[in-house]
Amino acid sequence: MHQPTTQARASIYYRYAVHEPWLPSSHPAQVRQRVVIVGSGPAGIVAALELARLGVPSVLLTSELQVSQGSRAIVFTRRSMEILQQIGVAARVTENGLPWRFGNSYYRGQRVFRMEAPHDPDDRYYPMINLQQQYLEEYMLDAVSACPLIDFRWGNKVVKVDQQDGFARAEVDTPEGPYRLDADWLIAADGGRSGIRSAMNLPMEGASYEGFFVIADIRVDLPLPTERMAFFDPEWNPANTILMHREPHGIWRVDYQLPAGETPEEALQPESMKARIDAQLSMIGHAGARWEMDWSSVYSARAMTLPDYVHGSVIFTGDAAHLLPIFGVRGANTGFQDAQSLAWHLAFVIKGLAGKALLANYSAERVGAAREIIDEAGKSTRFMTPPSRGFRLLRDAVLSLSLTQDFVRPLFHWRTSRPHEYARSALNSLSDDNALFTAGPAHGAPPRNIRLSADEFLLDHLGGGFDLLYFTGDNALPESIQSVVAATRARGVPLTVIAVGSTHPVAGADKTLADGDAHLRKRYGVQSSGAAYLLRPDQHVCARWLTLDATRLQAALASALPR
């Protein structure tokens, strides 16, 4: 019988609420569900909220009675915030997080590079915002509680999954014993140690890196700005790397690499950690600062993915699908994109608006994203923890040169998580004008946000289905385009038409954005009336035209929704 701990987890700054388990005896017999989601980490929750936004109910199961423990994700990207905005959580993150955009790299005590992440007036969100994962999960679970389409069950652990003919059967253990739950689709969002992935015996591709990092969250009062600090080959930890990030509530994350040969057990000895954290504080000019430990653990990087995320009725997402190095803040940030993508692909298949080929597309696009990240993350991870003597020699040469040579310094700028562009997606239109545009988001890219007024942005108007941005100064959309829109909606496909460039409402459009200074048109590379962009429900561009016509709109919608 599953007995999750009922003792609140320890933390010096976060008060864990312990929830009541969901018990089968208090609920009527279980009927077969459309979707069961296993795991209430960032990926599972976003999948549930996004499915609900598209009108698909789900059962969300989690083995524990509390949100996640310890120091996990703390840095969330702008694209993650745009996704969180869609599910109604971004405002609370903005209210409580610490935004930032600068990073500093030091070599042997000297600053050799200052990274500046772009941030312009068209951005609603900062490039990065720091907030502990516990808070984020709490905010997302509040959104779940307010959503009647999600049946959330604390303390329900999936112990077995069987593939049946056209559905999945889960055995779910609870504090009063197991019950059976059938689902047309079972989403495995059960994290990096996914029991479902192991039980299904699915091998992952990729690599594990040598080198351990201690992850320590401490409370300390440091009068320093919220900026990333990376120290290479510092005095107190020669040949190794240290990272520091500020978190809300007076907490700092200190990640330090262990010398080769030191075991995690040795590293986590309190006296060892005290000496090293004192040395780090002293190195940054705060010798003797009083600090208190909240959490410590040891981490080593892995960069692996399943080669396919869809297996019969079981679909993998988030860390259950891939394991990505935390350098470059890739784990949860990638999980949000996976879950957002999965939700619309699956919702459209469930509603019969597309065939199962759409799910194969989810897998192809997100495995592609994971492989790209693994490639990029591999470079930063090899820089931080060189895997061989050759890599170390090369890295040390770069580090030494950077003391005197400016041109070498940008090499310190490792890339952080960014949204994958589905440039070669099977859903992109073949007959549009993508190649003829000279500006604006191209095939597969997420849309560029645009400020429309003091607190109004383009992305505030998107979401919940396909969006057609139609650029016009006329009073009405052409009849032929209105007919395609009406026929598409009649099939049940959610499609919103947004007219851009008129000061009066445009007939046939659901809303009209004036774009008085033509700023949106310029940033989208639009030269004349009649141009258009078609965005998928995850907001990525699947077609754009210099001049839209009804036939090509119909073709683009057919490509985006394969039967």
Ligand X SMILES: Cc1cc2nc3c(=O)[nH]c(=O)nc-3n(C[C@H](O)[C@H](O)[C@H](O)COP(=O)(O)OP(=O)(O)OC[C@H]3O[C@@H](n4cnc5c(N)ncnc54)[C@H](O)[C@@H]3O)c2cc1C
- Of 273 and 326, which CB lies nearer to ligand X in the complex structure? 326
Task: Please choose, out of 312-320, 352-360, 447-455, 466-474, the segment that lies near ligand X by the rule CB under 6 A.
Answer: 312-320
Choose, by CB under 6 A, the member of 11, 71, 428, 559 that binds ligand X. Answer: 71
Query: 67 and 134 in contact (C-beta within 8 Å)?
Result: yes
Residues of this chain, 195-234, that bind ligand X according to CB under 6 A? 195, 215
Q: How far is the CB of 170 from ligand X (least distance, A)?
A: 9
- Of 128 and 500, which CB lies nearer to ligand X in the complex structure? 128
Find tokens 């995690």 and name the residue. 264
User: Residue 411 burial by CB count (10 A; 0-12/13-18/19+): exposed, middle or buried?
Assistant: middle
Show the binding pattern over residues 28-67: x = contacts ligand X (CB under 6 A), - = does not: ----------xxxxxxx----------------xxxx---
Q: Counting contacts by CB under 6 A, is residue 97 touching ligand X?
A: no
Q: How far is the CB of 43 from ligand X (least distance, A)?
A: 3
d(CA 64, CA 19): 9
Q: How far is the CB of 324 from ligand X (least distance, A)?
A: 7
Q: How far is the CB of 305 from ligand X (least distance, A)?
A: 13
Find tokens 């709490």 and name the residue. 138
d(CA 130, CA 93): 9
Show the binding pattern over residues 458-477: x = contacts ligand X (CB under 6 A), - = does not: --------------------
Show the binding pattern over residues 314-343: x = contacts ligand X (CB under 6 A), - = does not: ----xxx-----x--xxxxx-x--------
Query: Strand 541-545 and strand 75-77: pairing?
Result: unpaired
548: helix, strand or coil: coil
Q: How far is the CB of 274 from ligand X (least distance, A)?
A: 20
d(CA 49, CA 150): 8
Query: 162 and 8 in contact (C-beta within 8 Å)?
Result: no
Residues contacting residue 239 through CB under 8 Å, at least 6 positions apart: 233, 259, 392
Q: How far is the CB of 247 from ligand X (least distance, A)?
A: 10
Q: How far is the CB of 446 from ligand X (least distance, A)?
A: 17
Question: How would you classify residue 100: left for phi > 0, otherwise alpha for psi between -120 and 50, otherwise beta?
Answer: beta
Q: How far is the CB of 251 from ligand X (least distance, A)?
A: 13
Query: 32 and 183 in contact (C-beta within 8 Å)?
Result: yes
Q: What pairs with residue 32 in β-bridges?
A: none
Rg (CA), the chain: 25
d(CA 408, CA 238): 21
Number of chain residues interacting with ligand X (CB under 6 A): 37
- Of 96 and 527, which CB lies nearer to ligand X in the complex structure? 96
Residues contacting residue 312 through CB under 8 Å, at least 6 positions apart: 163, 168
Show the binding pattern over residues 289-308: x = contacts ligand X (CB under 6 A), - = does not: ----------x---------
Q: Where does 275-407 show beta strands of DSSP type E?
A: 291-299, 302-305, 310-311, 314-316, 322-323
Choose, by CB under 6 A, the member of 11, 58, 68, 341 that binds ligand X. Answer: 68
Q: How far is the CB of 420 from ligand X (least distance, A)?
A: 14
- Of 9 and 409, which CB lies nearer to ligand X in the complex structure? 9
Q: How far is the CB of 121 from ligand X (least distance, A)?
A: 26
| Cα angle for residues 390, 396, 398 (degrees, 5° grid) | 105
CA dihedral 411, 414, 415, 417 (to 10 degrees): 180
- Of 335 and 463, which CB lies nearer to ligand X in the complex structure? 335
Query: 13 and 219 in contact (C-beta within 8 Å)?
Result: yes
- Of 126 and 470, which CB lies nearer to ligand X in the complex structure? 126
Task: Please choose, out of 72-80, 394-402, 423-431, 472-480, the segment that lies near ligand X by the rule CB under 6 A.
Answer: 72-80
d(CA 349, CA 166): 14
Show the binding pattern over residues 160-189: x = contacts ligand X (CB under 6 A), - = does not: -----------------------------x
Choose, by CB under 6 A, the member of 51, 74, 181, 543 that binds ligand X. Answer: 74
Q: Residue 404 is encoded by which pair of tokens? A: 């005197």
- Of 61 and 500, which CB lies nearer to ligand X in the complex structure? 61
d(CA 338, CA 51): 13
Q: How far is the CB of 173 from ligand X (least distance, A)?
A: 8
* Interacting residues with ligand X (CB under 6 A): 38-44, 61-64, 68, 71-75, 133, 157-158, 189-192, 195, 215, 299, 318-320, 326, 329-333, 335
